[in-house]
Chain A
């Protein structure tokens, strides 16, 4: 009785672990295949540029607005604490460093995944469901090279730029609160 119970638990643990490892392997092989078959995306760079537009440019609004408000909140809360110690002049450094080092890339990445990532997933899912992917394979066109690779490289190019813009918008938001609203010296920022 005890042995059978233990055995079931062990089997379940084992199958969970192997399926996770299998998935990890699958994703890694997919990535490796994708990178190896990126020739089309790089040779016909217009395909990738179009994806930079869809993934990057169209994400600008949400990235900039979120960045602006994150910066404003950071400045407001940071000021509350800093001014107790008479260090309110460090507000600019606080906002800039925490955005550039930490919050900018992380929050921009999350926003990018939720906006551009989900749009790409839906797009490719629709192509799969309406047999567009099969049609491509039948026309002797590799869908990973033609569909996935340009989107991947479009993301690789636009993501760092979006993170930088997020931080820039955040620092500007911090400036608005710190200098314009609270009235600190602008030298704390520039």
Chain B
């Protein structure tokens, strides 16, 4: 699945997008990216660099202050509420902590999008829900409530729910946060296998770089609201860009300094004068 983004019409196209809650302090500046059909693309960067905001632009929750976001063939700016909902039916989203409905069993959680959007005969709905739960390995847990699950299991159920309507585009918001190594491995494997078996396209927003680099086809690296590097995982690992290098290798000091800006240490301790 190694592709460069230019080979075909991309499923998500972000052109010159800037965005800020307050125009004086933009969160995103001149972002350009393209996500090709079928790929698993990572958007990486430090906390607060604008990754999640970019994800919200892709899902149409925010409109760019300038520039254009084209998702699944629609410019999000031109969609009304109904059009936006229509577009989102073709998208799945995995939230950071799953966001399962706590008052429903796992079965009902996965059945929720089907019941809301597709009037299916009960038997067909039943089969579909079990099929999705089987894909994430939790068919046997269908009757449990979300509060009875571990974090990793909750995220797998949420993944089953987000693919219930066979989306063309799956968005992952920090899917690896707070998982033990086993759950972690399961989620990484599921992201890849679901993407390929559904013929979907996936966008992963994360700062778990090493693990994510193993699963993605292409990476956009963000810092301070800009894309500062992009490439295949191997290109990113070998990147000469000092910030990317520090980030990928987890070095404590570098372009992002270890010390918060402060006056001279000696002066602060009042030993300089002595």
Contacts and interface: CB of A to CB of B under 8 A. Distances in A.
The answer to whether A and B interact is: yes
B54 to A, nearest CB: 15
Contacts of A134: 61, 95, 99
B88 A132 contact: no
Given A138-B59, A140-B89, A132 B116 contact: no
A123 B85 CA distance: 24
A7 B202 CA distance: 57
A141 B91 contact: no
A131 interface: yes
Interface in B108-134: 112-113, 116-117
Given A126-B102, A130-B102, A132-B102, A139 B95 contact: no
Interface string B83-105: 00110110111011101111100
A139 B99 contact: no
A145 to B, nearest CB: 10
Given A130-B102, A132-B102, A146-B116, A140 B88 contact: yes
Interface string A120-141: 0001001100111011011111
A135 B95 contact: yes
Contacts of A123: 103
B101 A131 contact: no
Contact of A140 (B86, B99, B103): B86
Given A130-B97, A134-B95, A135-B93, A141 B102 contact: no
A74 B209 CA distance: 71
Contacts of B59: 138
A139 B97 contact: no
Contacts of B88: 137-140
A131 B97 contact: yes
Interface in A42-76: none
B117 A132 contact: no
Chain A CB within 10 Å, residue with most, of B61, B88, B92, B116: B116
Contact of B99 (A130, A141, A142, A146): A130
Contacts of B103: 123
A134 B59 CA distance: 11
Nearest to A126: B102
Nearest to B100: A132
B94 to A, nearest CB: 9
Contacts of B100: 132
B80 to A, nearest CB: 13
Given A126-B102, A130-B102, A132-B102, A139 B113 contact: yes
Given A137-B61, A140-B117, A131 B99 contact: yes
A130 B113 CA distance: 18
A175 to B, nearest CB: 41
Given A123-B103, A134-B61, A138-B93, 11 more contacts: A131-B95, A134-B99, A135-B101, A135-B158, A138-B92, A139-B88, A139-B112, A139-B161, A140-B116, A140-B117, A141-B112
Interface of B: 59, 61, 85-86, 88-89, 91-93, 95-97, 99-103, 112-113, 116-117, 158, 161
26 contacts: A127-B101, A127-B102, A130-B97, A130-B99, A131-B95, A131-B96, A131-B97, A131-B99, A132-B99, A132-B100, A132-B102, A134-B61, A134-B95, A134-B99, A135-B93, A135-B95, A135-B99, A137-B61, A137-B88, A138-B91, A139-B113, A139-B117, A139-B161, A140-B116, A140-B117, A141-B112
Shortest 6 CB-CB contacts between residues of A and residues of B: A131-B99, A135-B99, A140-B85, A140-B88, A138-B93, A131-B95
